[in-house]
């Protein structure tokens, strides 16, 4: 079941974030997203968040800021389901384009984005921190109209 993400979910999404990412968002980053009015959706299983997405809106664009699936639930299509839900939500509200960044090394995510008709439109050098140094981000976009 997909539902809205709430500030009261921060402990759960922070746990997922820390278990999945080398350089995870902090509790303050998540709080800032809620304070800024960014929108989020979650998938729950047994009243526990197992996947989430956070997006921001500006004029007629949206930006996928974070998409994360808990490790035991990966490779089951939950990331795709959340992303499609968020894109449909945006499209229904007149948003014309969606953007996101992805680590160059994240081939599974890149494959998903390409299957959903995202196109690479650029890159950001040294965008992501890693244990071995910085990693480039690939910038993808999709037209929703």
Indicate which residues carry an active-site annotation. Answer: 101, 113
Residue 62 near residue 96 (C-beta atoms within 8 A): no
Residues sharing a CB contact under 8 Å with residue 47, sequence separation 6 or more, in sequence order: none
Residue 20 near residue 68 (C-beta atoms within 8 A): yes
CA distance 80 to 132: 29
């Amino acid at each position: 079941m997909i539902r809205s993400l709430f500030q009261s979910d921060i402990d759960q999404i922070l746990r997922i974030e820390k278990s999945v990412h080398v350089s995870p968002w902090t509790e303050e980053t998540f709080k800032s997203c809620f304070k800024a009015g960014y929108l989020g959706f979650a998938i729950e299983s047994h009243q526990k968040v197992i996947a989430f997405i956070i997006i921001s809106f500006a004029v007629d664009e949206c930006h996928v800021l974070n998409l994360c699936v808990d490790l035991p639930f990966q490779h089951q299509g939950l990331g795709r389901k959340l992303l499609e839900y968020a894109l449909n939500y945006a499209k229904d509200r007149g948003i014309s384009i969606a953007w996101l960044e992805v680590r160059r090394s994240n081939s599974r995510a890149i494959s998903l984005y390409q299957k959903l008709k995202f196109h690479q439109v650029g890159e950001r050098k040294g965008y992501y921190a890693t244990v071995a140094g910085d990693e480039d981000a690939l910038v993808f976009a999709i037209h929703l109209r």
